[in-house]
Structure 1
């Protein structure tokens, strides 16, 4: 089934030409060159042009807008395409639910070169004195519409605990996505605690999200939420912490699967690496929030390679003893690497081949087949 997103071809000769400058980097946890997601080719040739619903963003003034939020605010209606020139866009961005079918594209070949970043944390005081931001309010980018697609971008939150010892609310979200049929290709998500929030707009609303060839890094619950999210051929990296003397440093996944999302997180054909000492990270812990005590967190990790940074003996733990992980839906299938060794069978539930057949991207995504297609030809 078609994703419903436009087939694209970038041109605007002057704009594309402006996107070949030196790379800009965000100053937190950059992945080594070998860990980068696969890049992609040129989005078209000079002389081709996009639809009238295309807006070009360039912080240096070569586009229609200099900030991403300005372009989002100018995009009245659905189906808009935002093309972001290389650069660091230090701002928070909120996309309303009415902007259905919106697409963001990094004009550079490398997602490292186009970065949307800010530095709010849950405990950061709001400028108007009305309190702190909270976890949701800390997000650098908040996406509410259905049918959103992004490719070739970095979403980051560079708030650091060491810089703010007075703040105890250390959750700092890079991206919160809530819409159904939201897809991300060749994107990077950088942060520490609560980096990527795969959520839904309401407990009773289905929200499916797809991540392909993406890179996510962090330390505490850095992939979390109640949505149905598929991570296909992605790279997760756990970071070293200087504020803790011993294990555990943190947790990769913290699903809080809601009733309207019968399936939670599926990780397939991916890898989990670490900069931390061996066994300093748990693979997951279930999150049953006070706002939804009926949640049944679900995580399946299959055909994935885990480094020694994951505690192979006891990879799961509790967020609350009232909701032990053994009562949730955690399972693995055909994983490999030092962090995937099954030494205590009771600590690592494994799927049979027949059970694994029910845990594939197609099953989780249902009638939606996410795709990103380019169109050739001008007009």
Structure 2
């Protein structure tokens, strides 16, 4: 997979331009010295409280698969949720493997805290092993509960019942971030070789319709060779306990969406990953990243040796944004320096295709509309709470190629 990614990047290396530090106030660039701390090892080095991080190096190895302990499909369990329930009840501290046969599995999957370390993997190509559900964050919690549990997937006494009830009994007007296909609260989770799609997709207007494919809340979550597809809020790399660090490693994965579709509080590293911005629901102004990093913690998202692309419509009218800060929880107060989360992201050693605003690739913050500002002075503080923390280093920027007559491309279906 990594070789295929490298070949694809090489094939797109036309009209390349470099990046020079310090960049501009709207497109800041790190120098070689400034970029040195921003490595996968650093982002994954610490655990514990944001206020008192503990050195606890996590060096995720390639996900190993073999004979599964639990089989989904065929003569095995009918759903991934049933297999997760079985693993939870079997208990213990040893890792357990859930193999999923090719097919489409409709419905949500909730993986509760206290589940043994799990590896859930596809027994086929990722595009052939599909976990799907249609859910929109704008519905009420009551409607969410009816849709998610229409077939009685969750019942009192089941391992995931508390997760289901936490959303079904919400007093908020909408389901919000409960609108996800797969939701994991367990540590040491590994997902490999699956496609997870929130099939709401283009059935709604271009307004605010959060529709998560995957939400992870706990430490040491590992994704490899995955396909995560939705439109708004595809992947939430979260830290459910807002006081504690949660680490995520993503490798050789395809992520598709149109609005803030990679977002959250986690310390997350994306390596060899393809991010693709689409215009099928929202014709312009789409945003890829919305990190929500704790204000005094220096490591949010790191994107390295990856590919960032946009579809043909964006290449014709380049209005896409690489990202913006989320500023979660500050809609009433506005951004409060040192108190409001201040998203941190470095995109480095990657290929950024055509379709993005080249002068101002970072949008104003999602919740507060705080304008993007970056320091470019000598000796700048990269964690200055009065400025944004969205950076680039040593990326390759490409212009749109002239398409061959009669040809189209769809990155979301090639893998």
Aligned to 2:186: 145
Give me the whole-angstrom Cα distance separating, in 2, the residues matched to 1:243 and 1:329. Answer: 26
Aligned to 1:70: 82
Question: Displacement of 1:184 after TM fit?
Answer: 0.7
Indicate yes or no: 2:118 matched with 1:118. no
Indicate yes or no: 2:113 matched with 1:97. yes
Give me the whole-angstrom Cα distance separating, in 2, the residues matched to 1:147 and 1:260. Answer: 25
Does 1 or 2 have the higher relative contact order (CA < 8 Å, sep 6+)? 2
Give me the whole-angstrom Cα distance separating, in 2, the residues matched to 1:312 and 1:6. Answer: 37
Question: Displacement of 1:204 after TM fit?
Answer: 0.8
In the alignment of these two chains, the number of paired residues is 289
Conserved? CA contact 2:71–2:99, under 8 Å: yes
- Structure 1 residues not aligned, in runs of 5+: 11-49, 341-379
Give me the whole-angstrom Cα distance separating, in 1, the residues matched to 2:254 and 2:64. Answer: 24
CA-to-aligned-CA distance 1:246-302 (integer Å, 9 cap, x gap): x31x10100001258541000000011111323121011111111795312101000
Question: Displacement of 1:306 after TM fit?
Answer: 0.9
Say which is worse superposed, 235-244 or 266-275, in terms of deviation.
Answer: 235-244
* Equivalent residue runs for 1:1-379 within 5 Å: 3=60, 8-10=65-67, 54-58=69-73, 61-63=74-76, 65-75=77-87, 76=89, 77=91, 78=93, 79-108=95-124, 110-125=125-140, 126-127=142-143, 134-161=175-202, 163-164=203-204, 169-244=208-283, 247-248=284-285, 250-258=286-294, 262-275=298-311, 276-278=313-315, 279-290=318-329, 293-319=339-365, 320-322=368-370, 324-326=372-374, 327-338=387-398
Give me the whole-angstrom Cα distance separating, in 1, the residues matched to 2:324 and 2:399. Answer: 16
Q: 1:286 to 1:182 in 2, by over 3 A?
A: same
- Structure 2 residues not aligned, in runs of 5+: 1-57, 147-168, 331-335, 375-386, 401-415
Give me the whole-angstrom Cα distance separating, in 2, the residues matched to 1:260 and 1:199. Answer: 17
Q: 1:87 to 1:66 in 2, by over 3 A?
A: same
CA-to-aligned-CA distance 1:83-134 (integer Å, 9 cap, x gap): 10111111101100111411101011x1101011111011124336877653
CA-to-aligned-CA distance 1:22-44 (integer Å, 9 cap, x gap): xxxxxxxxxxxxxxxxxxxxxxx
Q: 1:205 to 1:339 in 2, by over 3 A?
A: farther
Question: Displacement of 1:242 after TM fit?
Answer: 4.7
Give me the whole-angstrom Cα distance separating, in 1, the residues matched to 2:84 and 2:70. Answer: 9
Q: 1:94 to 1:325 in 2, by over 3 A?
A: farther
Give me the whole-angstrom Cα distance separating, in 1, the residues matched to 2:186 and 2:296. Answer: 17
Conserved? CA contact 1:122–1:132, under 8 Å: no
Give the alignment's TM-score, normalised by structure 2.
0.65
Give me the whole-angstrom Cα distance separating, in 2, the residues matched to 1:328 and 1:136. Answer: 25
CA-to-aligned-CA distance 1:294-323 (integer Å, 9 cap, x gap): 312101000111111111111011122346
Q: 1:220 to 1:243 in 2, by over 3 A?
A: closer
Conserved? CA contact 2:60–2:249, under 8 Å: no
CA-to-aligned-CA distance 1:134-185 (integer Å, 9 cap, x gap): 3321010001111011111111111035x345x9640000000111111111
Give me the whole-angstrom Cα distance separating, in 1, the residues matched to 2:111 and 2:98. Answer: 12
Question: Displacement of 1:338 after TM fit?
Answer: 2.7
Conserved? CA contact 2:126–2:194, under 8 Å: yes
CA RMSD of aligned residues (A): 2.5
